[in-house]
């Protein structure tokens, strides 16, 4: 996975998708994915409630986005998909749409 420093993202925001030990998927956004993954993996109070107790976590996708509103829209869009549709996105057969990038965001923006 690419480094997740804000200056390397289009606007410092990232959408990321994790696979949990129970094979479920978790999607989130952050300006610092490495820090956020460490928080999730620690299982502490800053970890998302959903991923607590579902370790180990595997990062499947990280996409740079231009700003927080776009990141929130993309996260909401991804979470609205069915599991087969999410797997199609992860396999690269479907594009993450957002208006700021022409034709959406292909894997590895």
| C-alpha–C-alpha distance, residues 40 and 10, integer Å | 24
What is the distance of C-alpha 5 from the center of its chain?
15
| C-alpha–C-alpha distance, residues 40 and 37, integer Å | 5
Write down the pLDDT at residue 92. 85
Q: What percent of the chain has pLDDT over 90?
A: 71
pLDDT tens for each residue of 73-96:
999 999 999 999 999 999 987 776
Q: What percent of the chain has pLDDT over 70?
A: 77
pTM across the whole model: 0.79
Question: Is residue 3 classed exposed, middle or buried when 0-12, 13-18 and 19+ CB atoms within 10 A define those classes?
Answer: exposed
In a domain, 49, yes or no: yes
Write down the pLDDT at residue 95. 72
In a domain, 99, yes or no: no
Q: What is the CATH number of the domain that holds 50?
A: 3.40.1440.10
Write down the pLDDT at residue 10. 58
Mean pLDDT rounded to a whole number for the chain = 83
pLDDT tens for each residue of 64-73:
999 999 999 9
| C-alpha–C-alpha distance, residues 17 and 63, integer Å | 9
The dihedrals phi and psi of 51, each to the nearest 5 degrees, come to -85, -10
The dihedrals phi and psi of 105, each to the nearest 5 degrees, come to -115, 115
Q: How many domains does the chain have?
A: 1
Write down the pLDDT at residue 68. 94
In a domain, 26, yes or no: yes
Closest CA to 74 of 63, 85, 84, 82: 63
Residue 15 token pair: 């959408």
């Amino acid at each position: 996975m690419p480094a997740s420093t804000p200056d390397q993202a289009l606007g410092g925001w990232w959408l990321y998708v994790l696979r949990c030990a129970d094979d479920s998927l978790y999607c989130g956004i952050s300006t610092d994915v490495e820090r956020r993954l460490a928080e999730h993996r620690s299982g502490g109070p800053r970890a998302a409630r959903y991923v607590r107790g579902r370790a180990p976590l595997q990062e499947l996708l990280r996409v740079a986005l231009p700003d927080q509103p776009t990141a929130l829209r993309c996260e909401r869009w991804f979470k609205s998909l069915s599991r087969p549709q999410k797997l199609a996105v992860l396999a690269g057969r479907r594009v993450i749409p957002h208006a700021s990038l022409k034709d959406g965001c292909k894997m590895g923006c």
